[in-house]
Amino acid sequence: MATTAHIHAHAAPQGFIRKYIFSLDHKVIGIQYYFLALAAVFTGMFLSLLMRIHLIWPTAQIPLIGEIKPETYLSLLTMHGTIMVFFVLTTAPQSGFGNYFLPIQIGAPDMAFPVLNMLSFWTTLLAFVVMIAAFFVTGGAPLHGWTGYAPLSALPNSGPGEQLGADLWITSIAIFCIASLMGALNFITTTLDLRAKGMTLMRMPLTVWSWLITAILGLLAFGVLLSAGILLLLDRNLGTSFYVPLVVVNGQVMGHKGGSPLLWQHLFWFFGHPEVYIAILPGMGVASQLLSTFARKPIFGYRAMVYAIMAIGLLGFMVWGHHMFMSGMSPYSAFAFSLMTMSIGVPSAIKTFNWLGTLWGAKIRLHSPMLFAIGFVSLFVSGGLSGPFLAQPVLDIPLHDTYFVVGHFHLIMGVAAIFGIFGATYYWFPKMFGRMMNESLARVHFIITLVGTYAIFMPMHYLGMAGQTRRYSQFTEVAYQTKLLPVQTFMSYAAFITIGAQLIFLFNLFWSMWKGPKASDNPWEATTLEWTTATPPPHDNFGGHTPVVNHGPYEYNVPGASKDFVMQTDPATATAH
Amino acid sequence: MIGTKEPRINYGGAVTLPPIMGGGGDGSGGGPADFSDRLRRARLGLAVGLTPIIMLFVSLTSAYIVRQGLPTLDENTNRYIHDWLPVNLPWLILILNTCVLLVSSVTMEVSRRAIAREAALAPVRSIPGVSLGEETSFPWLGLTVGLGLMFLFGQWMAWRELAFRGFFLATSPSSSFVYLLTGMHALHLAGGLLALLYASAVALLRKPVESRRVVIDVTSWYWHFMAVLWIYIFALLEFAR
């Protein structure tokens, strides 16, 4: 192995600023990413709270905000989606936990390029600040949705938020792309080059596999979004016509001619669909890690799990057209995209059945991380099953602009990924902060969140089938939509309760950081490398030595072993086989 | 445990795939700072880092080709027409520019080999009483920077010439793409120039020769990539007008 001493050329910093602010330590950077995502998730959740209030009380006067106008509703919707997708689902599971635990789990002292790592965090923070700034400029935040469809997004006079707010939105996304690319570069190089002796690819924990494949997806996808964003900025500010056809806005002929709005959709979704997997793959890795640890069984079909992650990543690049069935594409193209999309069901089912196989006949330890891992599988199945519906053009066309799609992607990409983040938080908190989180509060948090999210998002499927349109700010004016309002009311109340339950999590997180009982080095009796080192890990992760790996990542209940788990660094003779 | 018998149950520990890129138990681990490791890691990082740049230009190429074949609505006749206007590129300037960039690639390569030789001979040179003779070192790196700046200046001349011929950024979709592709390439090349200036600064600051070698080596590969990328863009703009 070719790691190490010089990677850690940066000595342990002493001053507060170099230790906690401009730190090169991947662990500090991971925590910084985590708290950025935490700030983002509460921002995004607050926006959804405003939307849910507006949907059932359209004329309510909200303190400090006043009445929400229809265009403000669209701004809330846009910013909620954007913040959640980029600054939460992409940031927390990959950049947060990945940064903290990838180097430790492969036995490296740090990331391959620590300075680049620090730069990538600060660039992400800059992107977040630019994004939030869009709320405070003239015209407010954009209203073109997180997908930013042209020509709405390409014409500054197409709506109140489409002036400077939209420029800031695009700039923020572009900055985020660059930050993510720097992060992905680091993840891939680190995984390929800095593994400890004995850490072969097929001994890497599934979390590491999922971070690696996610990084590869990011590497291939974010460059395309960046180029799409540059074209959009040129259309908006320099008069080019990449996306804008001959168009009349408010009776005024715009100067553009000959652009194609579909070009934006192709470029955006070539990024956008892999982005879905960028959000969910790390959650899959975490779920595998947790299910195996708390079921005290090796993960069922480790190899199949690895190949399934790869297959999902590969297929993820071939299905972007299923977001565009409505665009009038050729039925032959639609058929191809439909077929490819449904084929993703195969590796997804392999993963699901392997998770169930891991649980089968196990003596499960139902600690809070495990509850969230099981919740992840539940949400993944519930949200995933509606995927094959939407993969068929003939069903997608009536369902596309309804709440059915909103329910589908929130369950599978939103809440399932969030459950992965929660599971990872409860699981790794002891290692990160040296203390245990409160188990009772965690269970209450789990039960309310699981029931609450199902109560919010399952009815959306039925609303969609009943024809309730998405993105509408009010349903009070159309007779058939009005009849569905009681369901919306039920969902809003479920949302209020679920959002309230997140305060329990927040309290538990911060309270446990200072007041939780001290954690041992390996409180869950897990096997991977992060549990072999001190809690919290020292600056160079392993206190001056490099671990040597002798075992696979999930050796639980090995026949002949003295205890029910074999650490990856245990001597090769630790088992009787 | 490589090569030992694995348990029947798959614990995710079976070893069949060979380790790649130096991970997974192909060495002794730890040890003193080893610059060949650093060089390999930097090269790997560069190879990974070039991927999104390739993706950026692949997506722009795809947009270019799609837009070229796209009919648009003409408001006067209310019919779909092809409005793609072939851009008359300033051939001479661009050919000269290409030559400048190719020569700079050569000087960069000479610079890379010189520093590799210097790094290889460094241990010998440090032996007391051993002399390798006087070597005159030509500032190849400085020459490369000069040629890089000349290329950027040449591109600017080409843009001025295009404007003189009536092709501005928003004149037609084809001219938009010409400015976009050449501009994006120039931006990336300017990034390479910054790296070259950094490499020169590292040389002036008398950092260890191995450190200089790592910086110059990855910069040179990036520089060669920029030359190849330029030839691709030039060919695309010329042959897919």
Most confident of A393-397, B172-176, B200-204: A393-397
A186, A191, A193, A197: CA torsion to nearest 10: 150
The H or E element spanning position A152 is none
Give the number of residues written for chain B: 241
Q: Chain A window 388-427: which residues touch B at a Cβ cutoff of 8 Å?
A: none
pLDDT for the residue numbered A77: 97
Chain B neighbors of A542, CB-CB under 8 A: none
Residue A334 touches partner B, C-beta closer than 8 Å? no
- Arithmetic mean of pLDDT, A180-202: 96
What is the per-residue pLDDT for B74? 79
A201 pLDDT tier (thresholds 50, 70, 90): very high
Model pLDDT for residues A425-484, shown as the tens digit of each residue: 999 999 999 999 999 999 999 999 999 999 999 999 999 999 999 999 998 888 888 999
Confidence at residue A4, expressed as pLDDT on a 0 to 100 scale: 45
The answer to whether A223 and A177 are in contact (CB under 8 A) is yes
What is the structure's pLDDT at B208? 80
Task: Please list the residues that pair with A252 across neighbouring strands.
Answer: A249
ipTM of the complex: 0.90
Spatial distance between the Cα atoms of A99 and A180, rounded to a whole number of angstroms: 12
Closest partner CB to A227 (pick from B33, B37, B56): B56
> Taking CA A171 as the corner, what is the angle to CA A165 and CA A172, rounded to the nearest 5 degrees?
90
Nearest CA to CA, how far is B73 from chain A (Å)? Answer: 7
Q: Is A378 on the interface with B (CB under 8 A)?
A: no
CA nearest to B224, candidates B119, B97, B107, B141: B107
For helices A416-433 and A26-56, the axis angle rounded to 10 degrees is: 140
pLDDT over 60 at A1, yes or no: no
pLDDT band at B13 (very low <50, low <70, confident <90, very high): very low
Residue A571: C-alpha distances to residues A551, A566, A576 (Å): 8, 9, 11
Copy the structure tokens of residue A425.
């938080």
* Amino acid B24: pLDDT: 40
Long-range contacts of B217-222 (CB under 8 A, 24+ apart): B217/B39, B217/B42, B217/B43, B217/B112, B217/B115, B217/B116, B218/B42, B218/B43, B218/B45, B218/B46, B219/B108, B219/B192, B219/B195, B220/B108, B220/B109, B220/B111, B220/B112, B221/B43, B221/B46, B222/B46, B222/B50, B222/B192, B222/B195
CB contact under 8 A, A200 and B176: no
| CB distance A327 to A265 below 8 Å | yes
User: Does position B136 have pLDDT exceeding 90, yes or no?
Assistant: no
Torsion of CA A68, A73, A75, A79, to 10 degrees: 110
Contact predicate A265/A323, CB 8 Å = yes
Establish whether the linkage from the previous residue to A571 is cis, with ω within 30° of 0: no
What is the reported pLDDT for B23? 42
Q: Which fold has domain B89-124+139-241?
A: Four Helix Bundle (Hemerythrin (Met), subunit A) (1.20.120)
| pLDDT, chain A, mean | 93
Backbone φ and ψ of A49, nearest 5° = -60, -45
Q: What is the pLDDT of residues A296-309, one digit of tens each?
A: 999 999 999 999 99
The arrangement of secondary structure in A282-515, i.e. its CATH architecture, is Up-down Bundle (1.20)
> Which amino acid is residue A121, in one-letter code?
F
**Range list of β-strands (E), chain B:** 72-74, 79-81
Q: Which fold has domain A26-259?
A: Cytochrome C Oxidase; Chain A (1.20.210)
pLDDT digits (tens, 9 = 90+) for B47-70: 999 999 999 999 999 999 998 888
| Model confidence band, residue B132 (pLDDT cutoffs 50, 70, 90) | low
Rounded CA Rg of chain A: 24
A14 or A311, which is more confident: A311
Mutate to test the interface with B, among A203, A263, A264, A303 (most CBs of B within 10 A): A203
Note whether A223 contacts B55, CB cutoff 8 Å. yes
Q: Chain A closest CA to B129's CA: distance in Å?
A: 31
The CA distance from A447 to A441, in Å, is 10
**Both tokens of residue A21?**
């602010």
Tell me the average pLDDT across A392-415: 95
- A1 or A506, which is more confident? A506
Could you tell me the residue ranges of all domains in chain A? Answer: 26-259, 282-515, 526-577
Which chain A residue is nearest to residue B49, measuring alpha carbons? Answer: A185
Which residues on adjacent β-strands are paired with residue A272?
A: none
Between the two ends of chain B, the Cα-to-Cα distance in Å is: 59
Chain A: give the shortest CA distance to residue B207, in Å.
Answer: 15
% pLDDT > 90, chain A: 87
Query: Cα(A423)–Cα(A37) distance, rounded to whole angstroms?
Result: 15
Report which of residues A236 and B35 the model is more confident about: A236
Closest CA to B200 of B215, B187, B188: B215
Which pLDDT score, from 0 to 100, does residue A328 have?
Answer: 87
Beta carbons within 10 angstroms of residue A134's beta carbon:
25
Is B169 in Cβ contact with A302 (below 8 Å)? no
In this prediction, residue B27 has a pLDDT band, given cuts at 50, 70 and 90, of very low
Which of A189, A195, A298 lies nearest to residue B44, judging by beta carbons? Answer: A189
Whether the ω angle into residue A151 lies within 30 degrees of 0, i.e. cis, is yes
Residue A469's DSSP bridge partners are A402
Residues in chain A with CB shorter than 8 Å from the CB of B171 are none
Measured CA to CA, the distance from residue A506 to residue A157 in angstroms comes to 41
User: Is A1–B15 a contact, with Cβ atoms under 8 angstroms apart?
Assistant: no
CA distances from A74 to A150, A160, A415, A421 (A): 15, 10, 22, 28
Identify the band that residue B240 occupies on the pLDDT scale cut at 50, 70 and 90: confident
Q: Strand, coil or helix: what is A503?
A: helix
Closest to A2 (Cβ–Cβ): which among B14, B34, B49?
Answer: B34
The string of DSSP codes covering B34-58 is -HHHHHHHHHHHHHHHHHHHHHHHH
Nearest CB neighbour to A200, from listed B25, B70, B83? B25
Question: Taken in order A569, A570, A576, B4, is the CA torsion positive or negative?
Answer: positive
CA distance A209 to B172: 46
Asked whether this chain's domains A26-259 and A282-515 adopt the same fold, the reply is yes
Single out the residue of A323, A487, A341 nearest to residue A401, CA to CA. A323
Tokens 């700030």 sit on residue: A39
If you average pLDDT over every residue of chain B, what do you get? 82
CB atoms within 10 A of CB A246: 16
Q: In whole angstroms, how far apart are CA A559 and each of A149, A362, B11, B47?
A: 57, 15, 12, 44
Give me the sign of the Cα torsion angle A546, A550, A552, A553: negative
| 3-state helix vs strand vs coil in chain A, percent to 5 | 65, 0, 30
The pTM for the full model equals 0.92
Q: What is the pLDDT of residue B69?
A: 87
Of A198, A267, A302, the CB nearest to B24: A198
A181 in Cβ contact with A81 (< 8 Å): no
Q: Which of A186, A202, A548 sits opposite B15 (nearest CB)?
A: A202
Distances (CA, A) of A76 to A38, A41, A45, A73: 18, 14, 10, 5
Is residue A244 over pLDDT 60? Answer: yes
Which chain A residues are Cβ-neighbours of B26 within 8 angstroms? 1-2
- Angle at the Cα of A440 (from A436 to A441), degrees rounded to 5? 85
Q: Choose among A547, A549, A526, A532: nearest CA to A203.
A: A549
pLDDT grade for B157, boundaries at 50, 70 and 90: very high
Tokens 């990959």 belong to which residue? A94
Nearest residue, CB atoms, A257 vs list B12, B17, B72: B72
Contact B1 A551 (CB under 8 A): yes
Q: Which of residues 501-560 of A touch B (CB under 8 A)?
A: 545-546, 548-555, 558-559
- pLDDT band, very low/low/confident/very high, at A254 (cuts 50, 70, 90): confident
- Rounded Cα gap, residues A372 and A369, in angstroms: 5
Which residues does A443 contact at the CB level (< 8 Å), separation at least 6? A368, A371
Q: What is the pLDDT of residue A2?
A: 41
Question: For residue B2, is pLDDT > 50?
Answer: no
- B27: chain A residues, CB-CB within 8 Å: 1-2, 197
CB contact under 8 A, A552 and B9: no
Residue of B nearest to A573 (CA): B1
| Phi-psi group of A257: left, alpha or beta (phi > 0 → left; psi -120 to 50 → alpha; rest → beta) | beta
Averaged over A499-525, what is the pLDDT? 96
Contact assignment for A198 to B55 by CB distance below 8 Å: no
**pLDDT-derived band at B130, boundaries 50, 70, 90:** low
Contacts of A405 (CB under 8 A, 6+ apart): A390, A399, A464, A470
Measure the CA–CA gap between A465 and A468, rounded to whole angstroms: 7
pLDDT band at B211 (very low <50, low <70, confident <90, very high): confident
How does DSSP assign A252-298, residue by residue? EE-S--S--HHHHHHHHHHHHHHHHHHHHHHHHHHHHHHHHHHHTSP
Residue partners of B106: CB distance under 8 A and separation at least 6: none
**pLDDT tier for residue B200 given thresholds of 50, 70 and 90:** confident
Phi, psi of B79 (to 5 degrees): -125, 160
pLDDT tens readout for residues A15-62: 888 888 889 999 999 999 999 999 999 999 999 999 999 999 999 999
